[in-house]
Amino acid sequence: DVKVTQSSRYLVKRTGEKVFLECVQDMDHENMFWYRQDPGLGLRLIYFSYDVKMKEKGDIPEGYSVSREKKERFSLILESASTNQTSMYLCASSLVTGELFFGEGSRLTVL
Amino acid sequence: DQQVKQNSPSLSVQEGRISILNCDYTNSMFDYFLWYKKYPAEGPTFLISISSIKDKNEDGRFTVFLNKSAKHLSLHIVPSQPGDSAVYFCAASATVTGGNEKLTFGTGTRLTIIP
């Protein structure tokens, strides 16, 4: 059974803290993605990666960075968390475009 | 600029009746469309897709219709069941460069099936 695992389901951080969100997939997928979901805005793409050590900006990359040192792992980093980064973060992977497999999400609250 | 739009934030349908969820897009380069379903506290799961070379794709109770000239697609669920209550996201991609294109999602429609 395919699996995308996000390390933390719920996090509470303070403004200015550095935040790491980890994502691991066990399907040997080349592509990995980070989205955020906000009410009324749907899912918006933050960053994606088509290969190890490779990254591309999505639609809303400001305030975020990513790391992909291994094929199965894709990390999202908030260098200095702000309250407007309070959101549900969703990691996904795929072999080809479409049919993304999503993790269960990480709900981040920044106080 | 919202390239994929779902204008109905919510929809309530009686159990056993047809649910119709709508989606409009503005980017004429989009040629592959998908619907995802999301339950609370879970990640979205793939439901059904359609390529722009087709105008209909069916999978059990779920049918997706594509009207390219109107840049409109719809998802029909017949008959609707209580387990269909979820948020539905429409998504689109442009595969003209041969793949590995990112998906653009709509804002979602919350479907509630009334027993």
Q: What is the DSSP string of A89-100?
A: EEEEEESSSS--
The count of domains in chain A is: 1
Structural domain of A16 = 4-110
How far B107 CA lies from chain A's nearest CA (Å)? 4
Asked if A99 lies within 8 A of B100 by C-beta distance, the reply is: no
Rg (CA), chain A: 13
Q: Which residue of A has its CA nearest to B32?
A: A98
A59 by Cβ neighbours in 10 Å (0-12 / 13-18 / 19+) ranks as: middle
Dump pLDDT digits (tens) for B21-78.
Answer: 999 999 998 999 999 999 988 899 999 999 999 999 999 999 999 999 999 999 999 9
Dump pLDDT digits (tens) for B66-102.
Answer: 999 999 999 999 999 999 999 999 999 887 544 556 7
Alpha-carbon distance A45 to A56, whole Å? Answer: 10
The tokens describing B7, both together, are: 């204008």
CATH number at residue A36: 2.60.40.10
What structural domains and CATH numbers belong to chain B? 4-114 (2.60.40.10)
**Closest alpha carbon to A99 in B70, B22, B84, B49:** B49
Q: Which residue of B has its CA nearest to A33?
A: B102
Alpha-carbon distance A109 to B19, whole Å? Answer: 34
